[in-house]
Structure 1
Amino acid sequence: MSVLSSQDQPVSPKEYAVLAAVLILWALNFLAIKFGVSEMPVWTALAVRFSLVSVILLPFIRFPKGQLVPLLVISAVLVPGHFGLLFWAVETTNSVGAVSVIVQMNPAFSILLAWPMFGDKPGVKRIAGLTIAFIGVVVLFYEPAFLDNFRPLILALGSAFCVGAYMVLVRRWQGISPLAIICWTSAFGTPLCWAIALINEPSPLVTLPEVSLKAWLGISYVAVVSSIIAHGSWAWLLRQQPISFLVPFTLLVPVIAMIATTLVLGEDLTWHMAGSCAIVLAGVGLITRSKAFRK
């Protein structure tokens, strides 16, 4: 059966409005993380985030029967992998906007992982996109602001790799709804993050009472607005429009994030950084427009 294109399937004003809202909410997520980890240790912030999501979703989301092992594996990839590395990257950088760009590398990693796992050999267009995106990352590494601190970019690349791995795992284990994944990975991740926080960080009983309202609002935003509202809205959009139409719009997320971090956090946006980020996004854009993503 042929897949309808965006021209074959009209996009309503409501769908455009929801799409715009999702992109803005996801972009502001990077600001919210920065507000949270500026005052909370990383694993404490993650523990609070996962606890909030679990409390909100667990009463409404049933456990998918026979999916314990897949959810445990996905949780291992997302909790310490994607989220842990992302929060750590944001905590250790003064260029949150650049981190938001590097995380967009996840389609490139999903292609590289799907090749040996599923025999999904990338075509010329995808190989070209991969090459362009990685060239952009290499150029970004030579940004003067990062010469003394490569750690945030390495962590952001690790986070992007874990998202790519997550996409491959979801392809392997189909039938689990996005909200169920958010709910149960949070439920599994909550005790893990609290345990790591208690072992490696100052006692939450000491640090949390000192946290400002801004930091609490930041972590609450990450848990409720970005994780539940934005992802729930995205899941709704995926039922309305082809992924080949929607995915390229996500490249606007780091653009909005970089504008927001420049205006709110006063981050420097150099021509070197803007150019290298444009190269990365051009490569990822070529990947998302390839046949593999036209589902």
Structure 2
Amino acid sequence: MSPPHIAMALLISAIWGFSFVASKVGLDHFPPLFFTALRFGLVAILLSPFLKIVKGRMKAIFWIAVMVGIFHFTFLYLGIYAAGGVTAVAITSQLIAPFSVILAVIVLKETIGWRRILGIVMAFGGVMFLGFDPVIFDQLEGVALVAFAGLFMAVGLILMRQIQNVGTMSMQAWIGAISFLPLMVISLATETGQFDAVMSMDWEAAGALAFVVIVTTIIAHGGWYFLIQRYPISVLTPFGLLAPVFGVIFGVVLFSEPITLRFLIGGMITLVGVGIINMRTAQKNPQAAPEPEA
């Protein structure tokens, strides 16, 4: 990779890591489902030029939007809200990788070797290990919700592998357009304080929302797609693994979240396991390697 592209990959990883912080700031102000609806509504508006009918693929796009936009991000944001922090959430979000491999074996009948099996065991084992940390134990509800969110993202990734020639911006636009209304209806039916949250929105809340919409969803995903077109997934995978590391660093620096030895060990085991999975997946099937998500 050229130095500018290395810098670009590092910046994208840092953006995804900081997205956990921005999400927490936004969720401290907005109800979780309402924040999710706002994110996708704004994404749909900004990416409306990419909302074009893709013949023969709209059914698949619809279900991808349901799995990723509605279910994944709902549980992700509920998890961040319940956890009250970002460090454990950043690590747990990486369970998307082992879930994706497990679903590929079940649904697509793929075969995997001992290395990816080891990676799956390490990924889940690491999260379980850090879950017994006294600090993280108080956040178990949030950690469980984020793990559940990873399962829905994995389903979405499996569905994405079934369609071709749908650009990243087009997919993001359709996810936003399809997800917005159901999320808003569910929010209005189950949450309160949406109007007050909008009227009392300060620069921090507005900035958090703008960050996850513009910087994370549009700029970072667009940049990652630019790199994918030029380099093998196996080259980019290590940069994707830096996203949760950046998330943990930002959580410690900005929110003074405590880091214990158990957390470090558990997080390291998880990330090594995810790294094994992603590297082997990229070697066996370059199109199957999951894109980092935050």
TM-score bracket, normalised by the shorter chain, equals over 0.9
Instruction: Note the C-alpha offset of 1:121.
Output: 1.3
Deviations 1:89-121 (A, max 9, x none): 111113311111111111111110011211101
Instruction: Tell whether the 8 Å contact from 1:244 to 1:293 is kept in structure 2 after alignment.
Output: no
Unpaired stretches in structure 2, ≥5 consecutive residues: 288-294
Among 139, 142, 148, the alignment partner of 1:158 is 148
Among 153, 168, 181, the alignment partner of 1:178 is 168
Among 194, 197, 200, the alignment partner of 2:187 is 197
Instruction: Tell whether the 8 Å contact from 1:94 to 1:267 is kept in structure 2 after alignment.
Output: no
Unpaired stretches in structure 1, ≥5 consecutive residues: 1-10
* 1:276-287 matches, cutoff 5 A: 276-287=266-277
Instruction: Tell whether the 8 Å contact from 2:91 to 2:127 is kept in structure 1 after alignment.
Output: no
C-alpha separation in 1, matches of 2:62 and 2:51: 16
Deviations 1:59-84 (A, max 9, x none): 24423222221111001101222111
C-alpha separation in 2, matches of 1:155 and 1:292: 30
- The answer to whether 1:292 aligns with 2:252 is no
Matched with 2:229 is: 239
* 1:84-163 matches, cutoff 5 A: 84-163=74-153
Instruction: Note the C-alpha offset of 1:203.
Output: 4.7
C-alpha separation in 2, matches of 1:148 and 1:250: 28
User: Which moves more between the two structures, 132-141 or 196-205?
Assistant: 196-205
C-alpha separation in 1, matches of 2:286 and 2:113: 13
C-alpha separation in 1, matches of 2:40 and 2:70: 12
Matched with 2:240 is: 250
Among 242, 250, 271, the alignment partner of 2:261 is 271
Instruction: Tell whether the 8 Å contact from 1:63 to 1:184 is kept in structure 2 after alignment.
Output: no
C-alpha separation in 1, matches of 2:17 and 2:104: 27
State the aligned residue count: 285
- The answer to whether 1:53 aligns with 2:43 is yes
C-alpha separation in 1, matches of 2:137 and 2:10: 35
Deviations 1:39-64 (A, max 9, x none): 10011111111111111101244232
Deviations 1:237-295 (A, max 9, x none): 00000011111221111111111111111111111111100010011111112133545
C-alpha separation in 2, matches of 1:75 and 1:61: 13
Q: How many percent of aligned residue pairs carry the same amino acid?
A: 28
- The answer to whether 1:38 aligns with 2:28 is yes
TM-score normalised by L of structure 2? 0.93
